[in-house]
Amino acid sequence: MLDFTDRATLPDAPREFGFWSDGSWHKGGALFERRSPGHGVPVTLTPRCTVDDLNAAVAAARRAFEDRRWAGLPGADRAGVLLRTADILRRRRDEIAYWEVLENGKPISQARGEIDHCIACFEVGAGAARLLHGDSFNSLGDGLFGMVLREPVGVVGLITPWNFPFLILCERIPFILASGCTVVVKPSEVTSATTLLLGEILSEAGAPDGVYNVVTGSGRTIGQALSEHPDVDMLSFTGSTSVGRSCVHAAADSNFKKLGLELGGKNPIIVFADSDLEDAADGAAFGISFNTGQCCVSSSRVIVERSVAREFEDILAAKMAKIVVGDPLQTKTQVGAITTDAQNSTILSYIDKGKAEGARLVAGGQALDLGGGQYIAPTLFSGVTPGMSIARDEIFGPVLSSFHFDTVEEAIGLANDTVYGLAASVWTKNIDKALVVTRRVRAGRFWVNTIMAGGPEMPLGGFKQSGWGREAGMYGVEEYTQVKSVHIEVGKRAHWIK
Ligand code: NAD
């Protein structure tokens, strides 16, 4: 029996999972072995599903949608399932967090906080299931009444990345289910365990068979087949901008399925001289180190007013040096392991590029040998200019680039000088400056004197090449609906043919 509490240790042998389809576990053929990035030992075995497995799951989701076992329920009944799911997650919180740590490498205390956020997502989703409604038009004259119905889109395909396997899933699933849609999920092949576990949890909570299905495997086979599946009505994709682009092509080349896309970011944090520099430095250190910087809303470009730049960078570098990097199973750890070998090499190559392109290394800048896993010290480069690759590319690691500005216009220009528009923050005590910057910086999520705060009541999503559509809250649930205009004649029809 594994212990999921603070004394948690590694499993003696990897845990084998089936895939979840039509309300039960199914044995997969070939298996994918996942090694813990924090410890280097095998921890899970998950199926490499076939396209036949995917087709069966889509057919199950289609049956569950068409016979109205889910969409036909009162919203209150769907809300009941979501609230019972929240209760089960509360009970199984430490266990879900444990598998998340072993497959992803994130610290256990962070993973537990993420499960708390996931519970809140199910609670907000339950509220959305009850509140979702359309509109009426009493303004069409006495002879006509207009109603706008909100109807579920149908079968949704959901593709998720490896950086927040359970959190990103739970920022979508409660809202997809609240709308009355059914779903087939394809998680990242390296972090599938917790997405699979949600199958048995939803089933225990009372979700009918076929409403939630998970098919595991590689992006190139299962992800591609899901995105081009002719019987999937909508695809919600979260991941890199390049794969997002291929999903757009797949949707267009198959059935013009509706798309929701949440893609990459190169997020600015603007620090004015009149801000509380200690607060801003703490926000910047957190913003780039949280989840080892493998976070779509990581604040990876700090844009600081020149008059305080040196002072600010000194405070920031001192804070970054104090961050506790280490074994993700230890509760004191703040920054865990880099999730994949490929990502580890990518981050280290960008650190080399930063040095080669002439940026000044102020903190970190190296891999850390902590035994067994792959770790990188939180890194700060100063004197970064817009042409450098560390200024432009999403590194997806704990590497922060610092730019300097003299005027508000210059700060806004630097912040918007990116193809992305996912998130941004501004730090100042001047309300006018805060509002000017909030209005002018193009980003889907914005923070003033704080960072990465919020809850599932608020919508998530990006401007520009960071994506299409919004997830979470009432905005999120509405994405999974389409509207139907209904026109009702009142009284006798005025005849066309006399
Ligand atoms: P990725 O694009 O490589 O993979 C994401 C998912 O797509 C995985 O499940 C993968 O198996 C699948 N996939 C791969 N090739 C596919 C294909 N051809 N067709 C369909 N699916 C395919 O991304 P990643 O490396 O897992 O995650 C990192 C990226 O995700 C970063 O760019 C990050 O910014 C982005 N991200 C964005 C958000 C957001 O909310 N905007 C959140 C998290 C991550």
CA atoms within 13 A on the CB side of 171: 26
Q: 175 C-alpha to center of ligand 1: Å? A: 20
Parallel, antiparallel or unpaired: strands 379-382 and 360-363 = antiparallel
Place of tokens 């009493």: 138
Residue 87 belongs to what H/E stretch? helix 75-104
Ligand 1, residues 261, 266, 296: which to mutate, most atoms within 8 A of Cβ? Answer: 296
pLDDT value at residue 370:
86
Q: Which sign does the torsion angle of CA 345, 392, 189, 339 carry?
A: positive
Q: Is 220 in the pocket of ligand 1 (CB under 6 A)?
A: yes
Q: What tokens appear for 234 in the block?
A: 């909508």
Stretches where the chain sits below pLDDT 50 are none
Chain-centroid distance, C-alpha 481: 20
347-383: pLDDT as tens digits? 999 999 999 999 999 999 999 988 788 999 999 999 9
Whether residue 219 has its Cβ less than 6 Å from ligand 1: yes
Ligand 1 centroid to residue 188 C-alpha, Å: 8
Distance 264 CA to ligand 1 centre (A): 9
Site of tokens 């299931």: 129
Pocket perturbation via mutation, ligand 1, pick of 48, 159, 175, 232 by most ligand atoms within 8 A of CB: 159
49 touches ligand 1 (CB under 6 Å): no
Residue 161 Cα to ligand 1 middle (Å):
4
CB 288 within 8 A of CB 400: yes
- Mutate which of 170, 238, 245, 479 for ligand 1? The one with the most ligand atoms within 8 Å of its CB, which is 238
Q: Measured between alpha carbons, how far is 362 from 172 in angstroms, rounded to an integer?
A: 38
Identity of the residue numbered 247: C
Task: Please report the sign of the dihedral spanned by the C-alpha atoms of residue 218, residue 219, residue 224, residue 227.
Answer: positive
Residue type, position 218, single letter: S
What is the Å distance from ligand 1's center to 437 Cα? 30
Q: Which CATH architecture has domain 267-448?
A: 3-Layer(aba) Sandwich (3.40)
Measured at the CA of 327, the angle between CA 325 and CA 332, to 5 degrees, comes to 65
Residue 132 corresponds to which tokens in the numbers above?
């979702």
Distance separating alpha carbons of residues 104 and 83, to the nearest angstrom? 27
- Taking CA atoms only, the protein residue closest to ligand 1 atom 34 is 264
Cβ atoms 58, 212 nearer than 8 A: no
Q: Looking at residue 6, what is its pLDDT?
A: 62
Q: Is the CB of 188 under 6 A from ligand 1?
A: yes
Q: Cα separation of 184 and 174, whole Å?
A: 14
Q: Are 421 and 444 in contact (CB under 8 A)?
A: yes
Q: What is residue 369's three-state secondary structure?
A: coil
What tokens appear for 436 in the block?
A: 């000017």
* Domain parsing of the chain, residue ranges: 15-263+466-484, 267-448
Q: Is the pTM of this model over 0.95?
A: yes
For the segment 279-325, what is each residue's pLDDT rounded down to a tens digit? 999 999 999 999 999 999 999 999 999 999 999 999 999 999 999 99
List the structure tokens of 442: 């193009």
Q: Is-contact 76 180, C-beta < 8 A?
A: no
165 lines ligand 1 (CB under 6 A): no
Whose Cα sits closest to atom 23 in ligand 1? 239
Ligand 1 pocket check for 238: Cβ under 6 Å: yes
Q: Residue 223 has what DSSP assignment? A: I
Q: Which of 243, 338, 470 to mutate to test the pocket of ligand 1 (most atoms within 8 A of CB)?
A: 243
What is the C-alpha to C-alpha distance for residues 198 and 176, in angstroms, rounded to an integer? 14
Name the nearest CA neighbour of 172 among 467, 485, 484: 467
The tokens 């057919």 sit on which residue?
Answer: 59
What pLDDT, on a 0 to 100 scale, did the predictor assign at position 2? 58
Q: Which residues contact 252 (CB under 8 A, 6 or more apart)?
A: none
- Taking alpha carbons only, the member of 107, 166, 120, 471 closest to residue 290 is 107
Smallest CA-to-CA distance from 36 within 9, 73, 66 is with 9
Which residue has its alpha carbon closest to ligand 1 atom 6? 161
Structure tokens at 403: 């730019």
268-271 and 301-305 beta bridge pairing:
parallel
Fold (topology level) of 15-263+466-484: Aldehyde Dehydrogenase; Chain A, domain 1 (3.40.605)
Looking only at the bridges linking them, the beta strands covering 24-26 and 19-21 are: antiparallel
Q: Is the CB of 479 under 6 A from ligand 1?
A: no
Q: Catalytic positions, please? A: 262
Query: If you take atom 38 of ligand 1, which residue's CA is the nearest one?
Result: 296
Q: In 223-294, where do the E strands start and end? A: 234-238, 258-262, 268-271
CA of 242 to the centre of ligand 1 (A): 9
Output DSSP code: residue 460: B
* CA atoms of 321 and 346, how far apart (whole Å): 22
Helix (H, G, I), strand (E, B) or coil at 305: strand
The two domains 15-263+466-484 and 267-448 share their CATH topology (first three levels equal):
no
Residues written for the chain: 498
Cα 1 to ligand 1 centroid, rounded to whole Å: 34
Q: What's the distance, CA 427 to chain centroid?
A: 25
Structure tokens at 40: 């280097």
3-state SS, residue 47:
strand
